[in-house]
A and B are shown apart, each in its own frame.
Chain A
Amino acid sequence: MEMFLKLDFWFTVFRCATPVLFATMAAMIADRSGILNLGMEGAMAIASLSGVLASGFSGNLLVGGFVGLFCGTLFTMILAYFIMNMKANQVIAGIAMNLAASGGSIFALYSITGDKNTSNSIQSKAFPSVEIPVLKDIPVLGDILSGHNVLTYLAFILAIVLFIVLKKTKFGFKVRAVGESPEAAESVGIKVHRVRYQTMFLSGLLASFGGIYMSMGYINRWTAGMIAGRGYIALATNAMAAGNSLLGMFASLLYGFGSSIAIYLQNMNMDPYMVTMIPYLAIIVFYVLFSLYYRHKNKQHESL
C-alpha cells in the first residue's frame, strides 16, 4: 500500500494514461459517427515513426510533430476510404491496415536508416514537459499534476473539448445523428459520408497525437512494436466510456492507474506474469460494472 503514498506513482498514472486517452478519443469520435475504427494502433505506429524521422532530419520539433500528425491522419483517411467507398468490412480493413502499418513502419525505418529495431541513429526531438505556474507550488498536487509533457495536458484538454463539441455544437449534433440514425440525418440534408470523413479525419488526428506522444514525449525515439496494443486497449476504454469523453478520461486514467500498480508491484517482487494483467483486468471489471449500472439505470428509467 505504501506505493500509493509515492508521488511518482501518481505521476506515472497520468503518463501511462495519455496515449490511451488520445486513442480512446480517436475511437470515440469515429464510433459516435457510426464507424468502428480499428486503425488506431496503425495510425499511432505510423505517426510515431514519421514524427521521429521528420524531426530528426529537419532538426525541428514542430516539423516532426506536423509530419507525424499528417502521416497518421493520412493513414486513417485511407482506411476511411476503404470502409466508405470500397465498402470494405471495418474489422478486416482495420486489422489489415494495422498489420500493414507494423510491417511498413519497420520497412520504412530500415530503408531510411538501415536499422530495424530502433531509431537510435536519428537525433529526434521531443515535446517538452512543462511546469504549470501556481499549480506546481501546491504541495503533493503540484508534484503529481505539474511537470507533465505538453501532450499530456493537451490530451486532457481535448477530452473536455470533445465532450463539449459532441454535446453542444452543431457539428456534434451532426455526428451523433449520423451515428445513430444515418437515414434520419440524410433526410434532413446532412451528408452522412462527409460527416464520417470528417470524424475519421479527427480520429486519425487524435490517434496520431497518441503516436507522436509515444515516440516524442513518453520516450524519445521509435522502437518497432512500441505502440504495444495501446491502440487496441482504446477500443475497450471507449466501450466503457459509452461515447462520453469525460468517462473516456476516467477509463484512460483507470488504465494508467492499473499500469502504474503493475509497475510498482513488480518492484515489490510480485509475480510479473500476474501483475501484467492488472491494467487489462481493471478495464474489464469496470466495463462490466458500468454495463450493469447502465442496465440498472435503464430499468429505473422504464419504471418511471
Chain B
Amino acid sequence: MKKLLNKVVSVALAGAMVLSMTACGSSASTAETAPAESAAAGTEAAAETTAATGDPLKITLCVGRTNDMSFQQSAYEGVMKVQELYPDQVEVNVVEMTDDTTKWEAAFYDAADAGADIIMGTGFQNLDNFTNIPQEYPDTKFILFDQGLDFEANELPNVMGVLFDSNQSGFLAGAVAAYYTQNENAANPDKTLGFVGAMEIVTITDFLVGYAEGARYVDPDMQIKTAYVGDFVDTAKAKDQSKAQIADGADIIFQVAGGAGTGVIEAASEVDGVMAIGVDADQYETMEDPALKEAVITSSLKRLDNAIVKIIGDYLADPASVGFGSNVTYGMEDDAVGIVFNDKLTESIGEENVANVQAILEKIKSGEITVDKASELTSDEINAIVAGE
C-alpha cells in the first residue's frame, strides 16, 4: 500500500513539474538571457560606478516580453538608453515575466526583495500590483506606464502613474488623414475619414477626440466614420467594419483595436488608394507582409523610451522633481507621443504636407494648439466633437 502511495505521489509530482515547466518554459529561459543582455550593455559601466560613487540607482523593468513590437519593447529600449546615458549612476535590470499575467505579481515582489530602487511596469494588467505591492515597500519607488492609479483611495507616495497624451498623437493622425483624403493618391475626393476602435473606453476615445480635432484643424469639412469591434481580437469583424467604412467613402482609417487592428490594415491593403494609420508601434515596420506594410501610412506612437529617459534624467538631477504620489501625463512636449515620419508618409501626402504636420507638432509642443482630452469630456461631448457639431 505504502509503495503504491509512493508511486502515486512521485508520478503526481513528476506531472506537476512537467506542467510547470511547459507553462513557464519561456520565462525560465528569459530569466537567464535578459539579465545577460542588460549586463552586456552595462557591465563595465556598472563595475566602474560602484567603484566611483558608491551604490548606483538600481532600476528594474518588469515586462511580459521585450519584443512585442509595441510599448513593452519601447520601455525596454528606454531603460537600455538610460543605461547608456548614465553608465555610472544606474544599474538596469530587465525581467521578462511572460504573457502569463498570473506570474507577474511574484516577479514584482522578487524585484522589490532584490533591492531595486525603482521598479517599472506597463499596462492596465498591473493596476493591482502597483496599488498593493508599493504599500509593503515604502522605500522603493514604483512607476507604472500607460495606466493611472487611484491616489485618493490609496496611500501611495512612492508610486507614479505615467499617462500619455494619446489625444495629441491622435491629432497628428487626424491631420495626416485630412491631408491624405484630399490628395490625388486617395481613392476618392470625399472628405470622409474612418476610425476603428476596439471598445468605447477612454483610452481609445482619447485617440478619437484628437483624430477628429486634428482632421478639422486641417479642413473643417472632414466627416468621420467610427466603429468599435467590441473586443481586441475579432480581426474579421474589424476588417468588415473597415470595408463598410471604405464603401461609405472613407479612404484612410485610423485603427486603435489591438490585435483586431490587423483586419483594418488588411482591408485597406485590398483597395487601391486606401491607407491605414497604425497605433502604439510603427506598424510599417512590424508588418512583414509587404502588401500590409504598404498600406500603413504612419502610426501613432507612445514613446515610453523617451518618457523613461526624461523621468530618470530628472530623477537623477533631483528626485523631488519627479511626481511620485500622482499620475503624470507625458505628451508631445517631452517627445513621449508622436507619429512615425518615414518615406511612406512623404510619398503619400507629399513633402509640403509632411512639413505642415511637423509644424502642427511644434505648435502642440509649444502649447499653441491644445487638444481636448477624452477623460475630461462626457460621452455626448465626444460624440459632438466627432460629428463636428
Contact = CB atoms under 8 A, between A and B. Distances in A.
Chains A, B in direct contact (C-beta < 8 Å): yes
Interface of A: 6, 8-9, 12, 15-16, 19, 110, 114, 116-118, 120-123, 214, 218-221, 223-226, 228, 259-260, 263-264, 266-267, 269, 272-273, 276
Given A219-B266, A228-B231, A269 B240 contact: no
Given A8-B244, A12-B244, A226-B235, A117 B227 contact: no
Contacts of B243: 8, 12
B58 to A, nearest CB: 29
Nearest to A213: B236
A19 B266 CA distance: 18
Contacts of A16: 240
Contacts of B289: 120, 123, 220-221
A121 B288 contact: yes
29 contacts: A12-B243, A110-B26, A110-B99, A116-B65, A116-B68, A117-B259, A120-B286, A120-B292, A123-B288, A123-B289, A218-B236, A218-B239, A220-B289, A221-B235, A223-B259, A223-B263, A225-B232, A225-B234, A225-B259, A226-B259, A228-B236, A259-B237, A260-B240, A263-B241, A266-B226, A266-B244, A269-B386, A269-B387, A276-B230
Contacts of B288: 120-123
B248 interface: yes
B233 interface: yes
B200 interface: yes
B228 interface: yes
Contacts of A8: 243-244, 247
Contacts of A264: 244
A116 B226 CA distance: 28
A122 B383 CA distance: 39
Contact of A272 (B230, B262, B263): B230
A124 to B, nearest CB: 9
Contacts of B99: 110, 116
Given A123-B288, A219-B235, A272-B227, A6 B387 contact: no
B127 interface: no
Contacts of B233: 223-226, 228
Nearest to A226: B235
A216 to B, nearest CB: 12
B287 interface: yes
Contacts of B244: 8-9, 12, 263-264, 266-267
B260 interface: yes
Contacts of B239: 218-219
